[in-house]
Every structure is written in C-alpha cells, then in structure tokens.
Structure 1
Amino acid sequence: MIKRFLLERLSWIALFVFLQLFLLFVAFIDTAIPFTPILYIVFLSIVIFIFFLVLRYPKETKFYRSLIEREDNLDLTGLAEPESPFEHLVETSIMNQTEQLKKVALHNQTALEQEKDELLSWIHEVKTPLTAMHLMFDRLQDEKLKTHLTFEWLRIHFLLDQQLHQKRIPFIENDLYIEKLQLEPVIFSEIKTLQSWCIQKGIGFDIQLEETEVLSDGKWLSFIIRQLLTNAVKYSNASDIIVSSKLKNDHMTLTIKDFGRGIDSKDLPRIFDRGFTSTTQHQDNAATGMGLYLAQKAAQSLLIQIDVSSELAKGTVFTLTFPKQNEFVNIKSM
C-alpha cells in the first residue's frame, strides 16, 4: 500500500523536489542570494514534507485499505468512512452499483426459484400418467411389445428422476436427513425398478453384503446407487453385476462391479464432469453425461467418496466409501 500511495502522489512529490532543486539552482547562480541559508531551508522543507507524508499516509489510505480487505460480496458495511470528496465519489458509485446488482440478483434468484418450482411441479404431474401407463402395460398380451414399452418407459422415468434431483441438488443441505439405514432394502428396491431392463438384457445380480447398516440419507443414497446401477446395466451385456459391502479401515464400503464394456483410462479422470460422455463411444446419443455428475455432487454432500477403476472390455468397479459416524456432526448441525 505504501508503494501505491507514493505512486499516486508521484507528480506532487516530483513537483516538490523540482521546486527545491530550482531554489538551490537560483541561489547557486545568483551571488546576491546566500546559498547556505537556502540549503538549510531546503533541508527543513524536505524533513517537514516527509513528516507530512508519514502523517497523511494512514488517513488517506484507510478507505482504500478497507476496499482491499473487504470480502468479494455485496456487503459494504466493512468500508471505512470516506475522508475526501473523491473518496465520497467512489463510495457513492460503489453503493449505487451494489444496490443495482442486489436488485438484479434478487430478480434472477426469484425467477430461478419460480422456474425450479414450475419444473418440479411439471415433473410430478408427468409422473402421474407415467404410473398409469406402467399399470396398463400389464394388460398387454404381446410380451415383446410389453418389454420394449417397459424399457422406454423406464428411460423416461429415469430422465425425469434425474432432472428432479438435478434441480434439488443446489439445496441438498436443506433436504438431508441422516439416519441408520439397512442397505439391503435400498439396493433391492433399485434392482426391482431395473428388473424388466435386466431381464431383457439377461443381466443378474450377485448380492454379497457383509455389512448391512450404514449412516446416510435414504433418499439421496438411493439416488446415488440408482445412477451407478443404471450405468452398470446400460453398459453391460448378459452377465452378473456384483454388489458387495464390507468394513475397511473403520469405513463401510459398498462396491458395484460390472463386466461390461468398461471405461477408457483417458476418460476416467473426466467421468464425473458435467455433460461428459465417453470418447470411445461418442456417438452414443442415449448418454447425457449427467448421471455420474449428479451422483458425485450428492455423494459430496453426504461425505461419501466415490472411487472408480475400469478396463476396456473387462468391466468397471465403483466403490462408495462411507464416512464414520462422528464425521456427520457438521451435516447434522446444518
């Protein structure tokens, strides 16, 4: 700040130095003017000028230091009281711009909330006829047609569910309810939803749960497992998907292993990025690139770590590592 202060007043300092040198120059060339007293006056002027700068520095930089130290938000309460007319101009300009930004932000937030509420309402409305359609499929006699319609219904159901959770994730902290859960009913419920798709593809499940209890949020944990199981089924052919749990280093882990097409090693660091789809199967129009992204976002809020390992044509392993019970203190206090 000292350097900035001196640079700001460089022209005034230069003028002062020039005047002192000019006074010495005149006394030097004009023999009628005694040089020694003039030199003494110049010395005293410089001392007084330096003392003046030292005194003025904290007073003239107080307002600007408060600008530098304040947080990057729309709260101006931390600003120092302006001392000079120019500081008043700066303060007025900042306050006017801040008020305008607050109005725009409030308007955008209100519009976003309204859009979210309308979309959530629409999704819930659409789910009603979808449920009715699913019940109608049971009346169909043509099993092949029934299987195809059920598969397409399932795709629509998952896309709506994904959209629903995507809109809720920014406010997930307000929606968390941490409790002790039994893993088995959560997993079997998600498998049952995928049943018709699995039958069509000849996929089975091998459930190996050494640990059956976990501390988490039931709704969001189901969503995470749903995304991982959906991916496993989508990219696998006739084979078993192994779902296992165990205790590892005092942490409960849940593993979902498939024997599908796998993920290219160059894609692994990016699979949780928003909108990312495989580079090896880039023509796959069914992929949205949102499932794993949303699963990762939800897992972060639940303090769950998701690890993945994969080999092309050999399959993929997703591992969920759950936090210890005492690590939920911060979540519960939200």
Structure 2
Amino acid sequence: MPNVRLFLKDNITLVFFEVLLVLFILVLFWLDGLRNVDTAVYSIVITLILTFTYLATRYIMRQSFYKKISVKPKAMEDALQKNAKTPEHLQTEVFIHTLYKIYQLEVQALYAKQNRHLQFMNQWVHQMKTPLAVLELLLQEEGELDKKSVQEEVDRMKRSLETVLMNARIDTFEEDMKIEQVELRQMVVEAVNEHKRLFIANRVYPDIAIDENLMVPTDSKWMKFIIGQFITNAVKYTFEEGKKIYLSTEVTENHIELTIRDEGIGIPPSDLKRVTRPFFTGENGRKTGESTGMGLYLAQEVCDKLGHQLLIESEVGKGTKLKVLFNRS
C-alpha cells in the first residue's frame, strides 16, 4: 500500500490532465454540433482504459524502485541496490551511488582525523610523564632546588603543549589564518629567542644571516611555529657541543628561500621521503626516544595551507637542510 500511495501521488497530475483533456475534447465536439451521447461515452471509456493501462504499466516498471525507497533502510549499503528500470530512476540510482561514495570518503577522512588526534594525544600524555618524573625527583632532592633543570623541563613541556595546540587548530586553519607582509629577519629572530634556553642547554648556537629588508607574505604566528619546530629538531639531533644552526636566505626570481641548516646526525635516505608523515619517527626518533613524529608533519601541513613550499635535504653525519620557499608575488 505505501508503494501504491506513493505512485498515485507521483501521477495524480497526469490523471487530472487526462480528465481535463477528455472534457475539453467533448466540449469541442458539443460546440461543433456532434451531440451523440454514445460517442461521448465511448470516448470516455477508451480514455479511461488507455490511461489505466498506461498507469498500470508504469507502476509495474517502477514498483521495485518505489518499494526500495518506501522501506526504511537498515544500512547505508541498502542504497547500492540496483533495481530501477526507467531512465529517470536509473539516473537517480547513479546519483545516489555517487553520493554514497562521497559520504564514504568523508567518513574515512573524519575517522582518520579523529584517530590521528587520539593517537597523538595518547603519545603526548605518555611523553609528559618524563618531564613530570624529572620535576618530581628534583623536588625530592635535599638542598637548594636546581632552577636550571626545572626550567629545562618546563620548557620541554611548553614546546610539547604548543605542538598539541597547533595540531588541534590545524583543522580550523582557515579561520585562524592571517596573511600579511612580514619582516622575515624579525620573525626568525623572535623564533630563535623563544628557544634560546634550548640552545644554551645543548651548547648549540644560532647563526642568522638574513637581510633586514626582506618581506614575505605569510602568517607570522604559524610560521614562527614552523621555524620553532625546525629549530627544535635541529638542536635535538645535534649531539656534539659547539655546533651551529645556520639560518639564512636566498632571493631568486620567483621565491625568497629561508634555509635552516644544522650540523647534526642527518636523516637516513630511507627515512627522508617519510619524515613528513604523521607519527613517523624513523631511526633518529628511536635514538632520542622523545620524538612524536608530528613536528615535520604539521610543518608540511601549514606550508601547504599557506602556499609555501617545504624542501628537505639531508646527509647522514653532515646535517640536515630545510628550506621554505615564499612566493615573491
């Protein structure tokens, strides 16, 4: 019965049109002088038979489709049934199947995003146990509190917390983005100053060679975060004291290249193409035990959203070079 009601609602206008058409023809015959009642009855009967036959045939052809859309689906896969026979319903099924594929892609992307957030949070919480344990041990020691060690652990927690916050904001990046002309040297200097205690603690020193007049179109907040990630990695994987982190620029016809080069252990060739994947730590990450595998991933995501190009070059034992290419236009 639901199928029949749906069919009648779908074709009620056709029935009214046929009735009006027959009445119009009978009126024409009447005005033309043809007033034979038998002919009028014959016309009405033939019209009803033809209309009924057409509607019955149409209902039989569409019955399976009406049945499909009248029954409440139990799963999304029910939308993939193919039982249409008319061109209209065939095209409707194609539309539904295409919509289903789009829905599946969106669900998979959402699941991957949620899984990434959950995995990152679990990893971050686990890593926070180390600085907390160190702070607890420092507090238990007798005598004067070693403020330098406390500050190092607090800085480590602050850097990790900043990474978590940026990871959470990356999904709403467009709402938080503000592109403007930024003085490149000043932005780099600010990022270096934010990590000065990290440089001092590891006895690694920055070397900045950037023209004061260089302006680049970017978002200063996000770029300082990216530069901070590069600096943190550069210092973390430079195990020898007295080494330097070189921050320089090169101006080409189309780009302004910001280069951050370290003299650390370098990245193995097998890991180089995968370092921007989420949670990839590689051989170097296993050496330190503190890598989340999210720093370069977030840097790549931010660069893509800002329209900058990120290039990574490295040689084992000689260091790593990261380049950010800003468009001059």
Q: Under a length normalisation based on structure 1, what TM-score does the superposition of the two structures give?
A: 0.56
* Residue aligned with 1:157, SS: helix
Contact kept in structure 1, 2:285 and 2:291, CA below 8 Å:
no
Q: Secondary structure at the match of 2:264?
A: coil
Aligned to 1:179: 180
Corresponding letter in the other structure for 1:167: A
Query: Whole-Å Cα distance in 2 between the matches of residues 317 and 232 of structure 1?
Result: 9
Distance of 2:237 and 2:282 partners within structure 1 = 11
Distance 1:149 1:215, change over 3 A: same
Task: Give 1:255 deviation, angstroms.
Answer: 0.4
Aligned-pair CA distance for 1:189: 1.6
2:288 counterpart SS class = coil
Identity of aligned residues (%): 30
Match of 2:221 among 208, 219, 222: 219
Aligned to 2:205: 204
Aligned partner (choices 279, 299, 302) of residue 298 of structure 1: 302
Contact 2:278 2:293 in 1 (8 A): yes
Runs of 4+ in 1 over 4 A off after TM superposition: none
Aligned pair partner of 1:266 in 264, 270, 286: 270
Give how far 1:181 is off.
Answer: 0.4
Tell me how far 1:142 sits from its aligned partner: 5.7
Instruction: Give the unaligned 5+ runs of structure 1.
Output: 1-58, 64-73, 75-81, 120-132, 134-140, 326-334
Q: How does 1:148-159 map to 2 (within 5 A)?
A: 148-159=149-160
Which whole-Å CA distance do the structure 2 matches of 1:190 and 1:298 have between them?
16
Give secondary structure in 2 for the equivalent of 1:271.
Answer: coil
Counterpart pick for 1:232 among 231, 234, 238: 234
Q: Measure the CA separation in 1 of the matches of 2:283 and 2:250.
A: 33
The residue type paired with residue 164 of structure 2 is Q
Aligned mates of 1:234, 1:288 — CA distance in 2:
13
- Whole-angstrom distance in 1 between the partners of 2:144 and 2:263: 31
Paired residue type of 2:236: K
For structure 2, list consecutive stretches of 5 or more residues without a partner in the other structure: 1-60, 66-75, 77-83, 122-134, 136-142
2:6 corresponds to: none
Q: 2:302 aligns to what SS in structure 1?
A: helix
- How much does 1:279 deviate? 2.2
Q: Does 1:289 find its partner at 2:293?
A: yes
CA distance in 2, matches of 1:197, 1:282: 20
Residue correspondences, number: 214
Counterpart Cα distance in 2 of 1:209 and 1:280: 29
The root-mean-square deviation of aligned C-alpha atoms, in Å, is 3.7
